[in-house]
Structure 1
């Protein structure tokens, strides 16, 4: 199952295991059980500290747990964790085997101090790049605290559960049998929901910090580059980000980041954060900016306020809050978000196996989504507002070759319909005839571009009609001392490599401003 190269890498990782443990599998005579058994046999063959038992009695088959002798850690996989979840499996093996986590010590102590009984179930798909963060966070929490248990479930393999719980988006998390959360979450975000006082404590700590020379708001490629360039100047630098990595975390394959032939968004996001942490940068995660109060005069301090109640001040600011998926803004979209309306075909596509779906948008993202989904679902209807598709010719040719895809052009989606629980239809208006049409389906994937995260800046810095922050050649906004970079700005061509360069430029501009104003 594992090729020779992967086996060699895994064997090297397993040398870090210091504490013996066992894998207990629950299997039957199915092909999937045989496949899982083969994988587990290969793993135990690479380390003399891991034993395999096949006498498990879990209700989910196939599945397996990782246990230290005499102790049930409460860490289980239901399914075969390959694809994006293979990394989650490797980390679980290492952590159960005694290898320490890189998580900050204060977060580890917070996890260990949680009181109560926590039984987590997380549903993932093997093609979901957002799911490993959730699986890895909950696995680690189960290793650190005996009161926490976690089972990671492959939604595509356990379709009956997915149907019964009406799960239409992954990752989906349940705690003690009740819905807990959806979408990407790391250990700190999960803790913030469990420990309700943590956010207030962190806000109080943040507000007590002395002013920064440069405060970067946003942790995507532009924000990371800005922080590194500022820190290298030896000035006091902070980064406040809602989630470090930004939209890169939602990106699948990246093949045009110069000098890196091929990578994936989450992997690049981790590399960005690790690079920033090599410098003396104060990183503050889970912080969504809500208001900007510019300095009242020369030499004054700019203030940024956050949803958490925290407030930070700085001599200069770099706004790098990026962009988010554009929504259709039609009746039913918000009601059925996560219940048939989705924005990530790679993450949620496997949950719609054998069903009918629509893709909204005929650009590269929309056509790529339709192509990918066509290999999973029964039928795809691609709806494009314009009278022609805007995707690259090679993608359009591939789309045209697929028998289970229908393309509707000059169409405006007007409504998402459902039965109160999940999506069952979409209504669109033919822009040529003005007639309304209804399509029966189970899923809608929205791929119609991006919106800048600049709502909190209205009336403070000058914005374009599209809501982008207007910047000059040095990255400075209409307010002296406040700079901006990346997808939130008017700089054309929203690309990772461009965002990195713009972040560096804005940081150099901010440093130059500091020199000239002191």
Structure 2
């Protein structure tokens, strides 16, 4: 199952374990069970601390449980955790085997103190780049707290269960049978939902922090670069972000980050955070900025108010809030989001295997999504508002070669239809004739670009008609002392490497601003 190179790497990782573990497999005669057995045999052969048993009796087959010696239960995977989830499997092995999770000590204490019993089930797909963050977070909970149980289920391997549970997006998490959440969730966000007082305690602790020289709002490539460049100047630097990595966490293959021939979004995001922490930057995750309050006088302190109720003071601010997927803003879209309306074909595509879907948008993202989905679904209908597709010619040529793809141009989506539980179709208007048409569909993938996360800045910072933060060549905004970088700004070409470079510029401009401030009396 694993090649020799991977076996060697795995052997080196597993040598760090300090406790014995047992893999208890529940298998049948199917091909996927055969693959799972091969994977588990390869893993067990790499460490004398690992024992493999094939006498599991779990109803889900194939599945396996990772149990620490002396415990009566552990972390369970149902299906084959390969693809993006292979890292989750390795971490589960290490952490069950006694290797401490790389999280803050206060989070460890918080997890251990959680009262009550929790039974979590996470549905994932191997191609989902967001899922590992969620799977790994719940695995950490289960490793540290014996009253928490977690099962990670590959939706593609258990189609009947996915249908019965009405799972139409990954990751979807259920707690004791009821939906707990869907989409990206950080460990901090999960704990805030489980621990009713966590958000208030965190807000209180953040509000007590000393004044930052530079406060960076946003943790994507621009925010990370700004924080690193500021910290290298020896000044007190902080970052507030809902999740570190931003859009990068939702990105599949990255092949144009200079000097790195190939990487993946979550891997790059983890590297960005680790690099930022190396400089002692105070990172406050799970925090969303709600307002920036300018000082009463030039050179005074800014106050960044957070949705949690906390307020952070700083001498200067670098804004890098990034962007989010643009919505169609038609009836039914919000109602059926995660119930057939999706924004990540790599994540949710496998859940629509053998079913008809539509892709909205004829740019590169839309055409790439249609090409990917054509290999999974029964039929893909690509709908474009303009009179022609806008994607690169090579992508259009590939699209046209696929037999199960149809393209409709000059079409305006007007409504998403559903039966209360899931999407059943959409309506669109022919922009040439005005005629209305309806398509019967199982899923709709929206790929119509991005919108900047700048709503909280309205009335404080000058924004463009598209909502982008207006910046000059020095990344200065309309408010002295506030700088901006990344996809939320007017800088053209929204690319990771450009965002990182702009973040560095913004930090250097902030430092220049600080050294020119009049010294405090």
The normalised TM-score by structure 1 is: 0.99
CA contact (8 A) 2:186 2:286 kept: no
**In the alignment, which residue of structure 2 is the partner of 1:511?**
511
Show the 5 A alignment for 1:22-421. Answer: 22-421=22-421
Matched residues in 2 for 1:252 and 1:386: separation? 27
| Counterpart secondary structure, 1:240 | strand
Matched residues in 1 for 2:388 and 2:84: separation? 35
Tell me by how many angstroms 1:235 deviates: 0.7
Matched residues in 2 for 1:286 and 1:272: separation? 17
C-alpha distance after superposition, 1:242-300 (max 9, x if no partner):
11100111111110001100111111000000000001211101111111111111121
Matched residues in 2 for 1:73 and 1:28: separation? 21
Tell me by how many angstroms 1:72 deviates: 2.2
Tell me by how many angstroms 1:146 deviates: 0.6
Aligned residues: 518
**In the alignment, which residue of structure 1 is the partner of 2:3?**
3
Matched residues in 1 for 2:74 and 2:39: separation? 21
Structure 2, gaps ≥5 residues long: none
1:498 has 2:494 as partner: no
CA contact (8 A) 1:486 1:494 kept: yes
CA contact (8 A) 2:231 2:237 kept: yes
Tell me by how many angstroms 1:74 deviates: 2.8
Tell me by how many angstroms 1:19 deviates: 1.1
CA contact (8 A) 1:169 1:348 kept: yes
CA contact (8 A) 2:68 2:74 kept: no
Matched residues in 2 for 1:155 and 1:210: separation? 46
| Counterpart secondary structure, 2:74 | strand
Matched residues in 1 for 2:322 and 2:33: separation? 44
Matched residues in 1 for 2:418 and 2:486: separation? 37
Matched residues in 1 for 2:458 and 2:209: separation? 26
| Counterpart secondary structure, 2:72 | strand
Matched residues in 2 for 1:49 and 1:282: separation? 38
Structure 1, gaps ≥5 residues long: none
**In the alignment, which residue of structure 2 is the partner of 1:428?**
428
The normalised TM-score by structure 2 is: 0.99
Tell me by how many angstroms 1:346 deviates: 0.4
| Counterpart secondary structure, 1:25 | strand
Matched residues in 1 for 2:301 and 2:214: separation? 11
| Divergent runs of 4+, >6 A | none
Tell me by how many angstroms 1:398 deviates: 0.7
**In the alignment, which residue of structure 1 is the partner of 2:447?**
447
Tell me by how many angstroms 1:226 deviates: 0.4
1:480 has 2:480 as partner: yes
Matched residues in 2 for 1:502 and 1:419: separation? 46
Tell me by how many angstroms 1:369 deviates: 0.4
Tell me by how many angstroms 1:331 deviates: 0.4
Mean alpha-carbon deviation: is it higher for 209-218 or for 68-77? 68-77
Matched residues in 2 for 1:191 and 1:458: separation? 31
Matched residues in 1 for 2:15 and 2:280: separation? 32
Matched residues in 1 for 2:501 and 2:30: separation? 52
